[in-house]
Structure 1
Amino acid sequence: MNLSNVLSWGSLSAGGFLLDGCALAPSIPLFGAAFPDWLFCVVGGVAATVVVHLMLNRRGSCQALAPHAISYPALTAVFAMAAWLIFFSR
């Protein structure tokens, strides 16, 4: 294999890697508009965090997640990312 073949194959593969990001954004059509899928995941993450908060309050152990300003956003992010992995990963 000579140098020109290596360079041409290299440029083709590099072009393929660069064009990989040119796909359409994942979205869900709802009521005539296209919403990004991460929006639904964030809403689900907030809803799941509210459910966890209500369950902890009912049991009286709400202090288990002591710094609420850190733990609730982190819990929302975990639930949102888990929802994305479960429902929208391809």
Structure 2
Amino acid sequence: MHAIHRLARGGLARVRQAAFGARTISGRLAALRIVLVRLRLILPLALLSGCQLSPSLPVLGAFFPDWLFCMLFALFVAVLTDAALAAAGWRRQFEHWTLVAGYGALAVAAALLSWLALFRN
């Protein structure tokens, strides 16, 4: 606990100054070692915070994460776009890798936008 308190009082700024002010490699390595030791003490505290509100939706008594619904919506959008391109006859104008990359990018964009639109807390 002592190391965390010292780090909060500006210990990291002193270590950074020592690391960039050191003219030798051994001085910089010593400063880096100090930073890594302090991060080892602080990182578990950050991982203990967790989520305050579980991002899930109840469906028929079971709870599902909201990102699952966003991914299902994104898959639906990609399949619908593929069907529209096939119906218009435009799908054969593109190479295979272009379609794979395009559908992947479309699915990611649709998932992220649907999550922003529907599940922002």
Question: Which of the pair has the greater relative contact order for Cα pairs under 8 Å at 6+ separation?
Answer: 1
The answer to whether 1:81 aligns with 2:112 is: yes
| Equivalent AA in structure 2 for residue 87 of structure 1 | L
- Work out the percentage of aligned pairs sharing the same amino acid: 35
Task: Extract unaligned runs of 5+ from structure 1.
Answer: 1-6, 8-17
The 2-side partners of 1:83 and 1:48 are apart by: 11
* TM-score where L is the length of structure 2: 0.53
- Aligned residue pairs, count: 75
SS at match of 1:73: helix
The answer to whether 1:34 aligns with 2:63 is: yes
Structure 1 pair 83–42 and aligned structure 2 pair: CA distance change class (3 A): same
Is this contact kept in 2: 1:44–1:79, CA < 8 A?
yes
RMSD of Structure 2 on Structure 1 (CA): 2.2
SS at match of 1:71: helix
* TM-score where L is the length of structure 1: 0.70
More helix by share: 2
The 2-side partners of 1:46 and 1:75 are apart by: 9
Task: Extract unaligned runs of 5+ from structure 2.
Answer: 1-8, 10-45
Structure 1 pair 52–20 and aligned structure 2 pair: CA distance change class (3 A): same
The 2-side partners of 1:64 and 1:82 are apart by: 28
Is this contact kept in 2: 1:37–1:88, CA < 8 A?
yes
Superposition misfits of 4+ residues, deviation over 4 angstroms = 18-21
